[in-house]
Amino acid sequence: MTLFVAGLNHRSAPVELREQLAVEEEKLRELLRDVHATGAVREALILSTCNRVEVYGVAPVPGEARAIAFRRLCRHRGIDPARVESLLYTHLDGDAVRHAFRVAASLDSMLLGEPQILGQVKDAFALARSCETVGPTLHTLFTQAFAVAKKVRNETEIARHAVSVSYAAVELAKKIFAGLGGRAVLLVGAGKMGELAAKHLVEQGAFPIYVANRTWARAQEMARALAGTAVPWEELGTAIAAADIVITSTGAPEPIVTRQAVAAIMHARGARPLFFIDIAVPRDVEATVNTLEAVYCYDIDDLRQVIDANLRERMREAQRAEGLVEREVGKFTARLRDVEIVPTIVSLREQVEAVRAGEVRKALARIPDASPETRAALEALSVALMNKLLHAPIAKLRESSRAGAGRSWMELVHELFGLGRKP
């Protein structure tokens, strides 16, 4: 049996194809059971996200199992298998273990260190278990993958540094204010990045939340989504004066926040700082606003600089994480090889034990008057001889397994001792 993973991801396939291959949960259940029922794969798990579609499995012939799984997936989605076949990658045994660990630890993600992938892998594992397509190998693999992902999070800072515009805005806000708890936020406009930044600020304790938009219905809709209050567009100046953090993303052709207006607000406001996050292109806030005392304004280019710096930090942490993963892969593959040879060792012991017990019975039949002491001595002698004779082949099996040559030695032992045949 061979452990394998086959699939495609954001590096090997265009987004259009990934979208076509993505499978919803109920169809995934049907597909898993269908693939498993063919008998070509003994264990199976399918991971389907916006950035990857992968089949993890245990099979006697991985190439055949891969072909069957993706042919059925393509048929279900109405896609020509030829479009997919050339884009697929396949990893076997230790390389499959490494891939699974890296995926769970977000080292193979489009956004390095993003946390969502671990939850998606856990969901795929739970689904496969509910379909009864997970056996001992995949159970052990993914249980360990989750432990490795946790270790990467705890022992590196790969997820600490903000690498999205919305998170970068929150990181900057934290630097300006001692804490975000109780800081009033005004969201100006209906841009998606602005909404995300507002949500992240709310998660950090910012409150209350105000929303201003030229379209009143849209302001009300977004205010409800953020558990905030809609503000009429005509009262924008008053709303800015009441806020600590202003996020703008309107798409207006000219700045809607001028230096003159902000200067007037600050005159009445005093020394309380005012922080603008201008995510709009063209910019919503005049560049000269940043020259005012106690006013801080960051535009999309400023946020990009923060993101670039943080990406470099994540890359440094990723190198540490890769080393950690490599050590865990080594430990796991050694255990996996040991597990692989256990059935052979058990069969060998059972075979030789059957021979030993039979020969002892024959010997004792020839000496019916043997005392209990004699019988015990014969039993002990035969067991000691069996253990000594088995020591060398079992030790060689374990040694060759750890060296990566276990299968050839298992085949040899099966042949030499006739395992699987009656003694």
Pair (181, 198) in one structural domain: yes
Pair (144, 176) in one structural domain: no
d(CA 58, CA 47): 15
Is the residue at 313 inside a domain? no
* pLDDT of the residue at 331: 86
Pair (17, 156) in one structural domain: yes
- Decide which of 113, 138, 160 is a domain's last residue: 160
Is the residue at 325 inside a domain? no
pTM of the model: 0.64
Coil/strand/helix, residue 230: strand
* pLDDT of the residue at 162: 62
Question: CB–CB of 61/72 below 8 Å?
Answer: no
DSSP tally for the chain: helices H, then strands E:
15, 10
Pair (355, 405) in one structural domain: yes
Is the residue at 220 inside a domain? yes
> The domain spanning residue 22 has which CATH number?
3.30.460.30
* Tally of domains in the chain: 3
Instruction: Select from 318, 314, 186, 299 the least CA-distant residue to 242.
Output: 186
Pair (237, 284) in one structural domain: yes
Pair (37, 151) in one structural domain: yes
Pair (262, 247) in one structural domain: yes
d(CA 5, CA 96): 6
* pLDDT of the residue at 213: 95
Residue 288 is given by DSSP the state G
Pair (277, 410) in one structural domain: no
Instruction: Select from 229, 219, 167, 217 the least CA-distant residue to 188.
Output: 219
Is the residue at 147 inside a domain? yes
- Decide which of 160, 175, 200 is a domain's last residue: 160
Residues with catalytic function? 50
* pLDDT of the residue at 422: 41
Is 418 exposed, middle or buried (CB count within 10 Å of its CB: 0-12, 13-18, 19+)? Answer: exposed
Q: In which domain, by residue range, is 362 found?
A: 340-417
Tokens found for residue 361: 């019975």
Could you list the pLDDT tens digit for every one of the 423 residues in the chain?
789 999 999 999 998 898 888 888 888 999 999 999 999 999 999 999 888 999 999 999 999 999 999 999 999 889 999 999 999 999 998 999 999 999 999 999 887 888 889 999 999 999 999 999 999 899 999 999 999 999 999 999 887 766 778 888 888 888 889 889 999 999 999 778 888 888 989 999 999 999 999 999 999 999 999 999 999 999 999 999 999 999 999 989 999 999 999 999 999 888 899 999 999 989 999 999 999 999 999 998 988 888 888 888 888 899 999 999 999 998 888 777 666 677 888 888 888 898 999 999 999 999 988 999 999 999 999 999 999 989 988 888 878 776 766 567 777 788 777 786 543
* pLDDT of the residue at 242: 95
Report the relative pairing of strands 245-248 and 274-278 from DSSP bridges: parallel
> The domain spanning residue 181 has which CATH number?
3.40.50.720
- Decide which of 141, 160, 179 is a domain's last residue: 160
* pLDDT of the residue at 398: 79
Is the residue at 333 inside a domain? no
Is the residue at 320 inside a domain? no
